[in-house]
């Protein structure tokens, strides 16, 4: 009897149909009044009490399996019939689905990446939660540099060693630690500073860091690269100027202005009538920084730059209030629907 039940059980399991008639035949054959199960139950009555215990269990398994199979196939069939019988026109176009649009900061970030990737820059990212070494020390910040103070930097759980990165320059260090030159990479990402939120400042914003390290990299390479970027990002008439500046991790350092893209350099309210607007910081990677990452500064040199994505976006789209970028007001975001 056991073999017979096993055989029928295998048959139940492998049975499938999409046809109502075949399903009805299945029901009759297994669960009908003269079906396999009835037959087996009749045989069961003739068994000894001992044999009944085992056979009873097997019979129940078979009965449940047949019943389950019947129910499942019936439901599938009925669902199919409902669709077939309803007056839903499946060939009709679906209702319009709102797919949303790219955030303006993403649009500008992607454009920056596109421009630099044409020059051979790869794209990488660094962590937003960072240790003191990568955010400050390896970048040549003096131990008492004001940026290390609580007023400027967010520390994680009061641990002076773990910060929310204050700039994307941490990613330069991580890259140089794990890769020997040539390195030509871009690092976009979010950064954090302990600032009161207003139209002109926010406690988080976005930067793109650039780094190029190889033999014989010069300041002229930096200048040419940034000029190319400015012309591609704004327009072909855009001019740049570099003003001497100071960053602990670059020597010499500079800040770069572009000719005001609103007035074309003639002077307007936006550029405070100077004709120029600042867009980024840059310089030659300080030899100390290269050495901190085990790169031989006698063999290699490099340049780096860092720009705020909000800043570039403001110049491109004249967004007056930084808070707009993080408030997710659809009236603001929808204005960029066709931009990307
Ligand atoms: N890390 C600087 C900042 O957050 C920006 C910067 C300036 C990055 C000069 C650089 C650089 O790589 O060379 O203000």
- Torsion angle of the four alpha carbons 168, 171, 172, 175, in this order, in degrees rounded to the nearest 10: -170
Three-state SS sequence of 93-122: CCCCCCCCCCCHHHHHHHHHHHHHHCCCCE
Q: Measuring CA to CA, which residue among 18, 62, 55 is closest to residue 37?
A: 62
Segment 238-263 shows an average pLDDT of 96
Q: Which two tokens stand for residue 288?
A: 């100390």
Q: Which two tokens stand for residue 43?
A: 């045989």
Where are the domains positioned within the chain? Answer: 2-86, 104-336
**CA 291 to ligand 1 center in whole angstroms:** 19
**CA 247 to ligand 1 center in whole angstroms:** 7
Determine what percent of the chain is predicted with pLDDT higher than 70: 99
Tens-digit pLDDT profile for residues 9-32: 999 999 988 888 999 999 999 999
> Buried (b) or exposed (e) across 115-132, using 16+ Cβ within 10 A?
bbeeeebeebebeeebbb
CA 281 to chain centre: 26
Q: Is 247 in the pocket of ligand 1 (CB under 6 A)?
A: yes
Name the residue with the closest Cα to ligand 1, atom 5: 306
Name the residue with the closest Cα to ligand 1, atom 7: 281
- With contact defined as beta carbons under 8 Å apart, do 311 and 279 qualify? yes
Q: Which two tokens stand for residue 301?
A: 């040199």
Tens-digit pLDDT profile for residues 260-300: 988 988 999 889 999 999 999 999 999 999 999 999 999 99
Tens-digit pLDDT profile for residues 147-198: 888 779 999 988 889 999 999 999 999 999 999 999 999 999 999 999 999 9
Q: Is 109 in the pocket of ligand 1 (CB under 6 A)?
A: no
Tens-digit pLDDT profile for residues 30-57: 999 999 999 999 999 988 888 888 888 9
CATH for 104-336, among 3.40.50.280, 2.60.40.3620, 3.10.580.10, 3.30.930.10?
3.30.930.10
Q: Which two tokens stand for residue 76?
A: 């599938």
């Amino acid at each position: 009897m056991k073999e017979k039940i096993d055989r029928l059980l295998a048959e139940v399991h492998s049975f499938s149909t999409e046809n109502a008639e075949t399903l009805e035949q299945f029901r009759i054959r297994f669960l009908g009044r003269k079906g396999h199960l009835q037959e087996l139950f009749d045989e069961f009555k003739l068994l000894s009490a001992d044999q009944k215990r085992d056979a009873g269990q097997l019979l129940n398994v078979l009965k449940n399996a047949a019943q389950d199979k019947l129910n499942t196939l019936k439901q599938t069939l009925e669902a199919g019939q409902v669709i077939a019988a309803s007056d839903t026109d499946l060939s009709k176009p679906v209702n319009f689905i709102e797919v949303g649009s790219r955030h303006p900061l993403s649009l500008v970030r992607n454009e920056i990446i596109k421009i630099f990737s044409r020059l051979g820059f790869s794209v990488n990212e660094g962590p937003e939660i960072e240790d003191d070494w990568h955010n400050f020390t390896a970048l040549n910040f003096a131990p008492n540099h004001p940026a290390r103070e609580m007023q400027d930097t967010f520390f994680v759980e009061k641990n002076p060693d773990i910060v929310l990165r204050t700039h994307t320059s941490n990613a330069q260090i991580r890259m140089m630690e794990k890769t020997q030159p040539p390195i030509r990479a871009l690092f976009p990402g979010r950064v954090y500073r302990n600032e009161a939120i207003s139209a002109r400042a926010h406690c988080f914003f976005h930067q793109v860091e650039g780094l190029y390290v190889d033999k014989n990299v010069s300041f002229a390479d930096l200048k040419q690269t940034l000029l190319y970027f400015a012309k591609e990002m704004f327009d072909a008439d855009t001019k740049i100027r570099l003003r001497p500046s100071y960053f602990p991790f670059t020597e010499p350092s500079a800040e770069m202005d572009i000719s005001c893209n609103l007035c074309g350099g003639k002077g307007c309210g936006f550029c405070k009538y100077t004709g120029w607007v600042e867009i980024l910081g840059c310089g030659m990677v300080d030899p100390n920084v290269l050495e901190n990452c085990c790169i031989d500064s006698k063999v290699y040199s490099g340049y780096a730059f860092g720009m705020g994505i909000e800043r570039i976006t403001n110049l491109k789209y004249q967004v007056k209030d930084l808070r707009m970028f993080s408030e997710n007001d659809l009236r603001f975001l929808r204005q960029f629907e066709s931009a990307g």
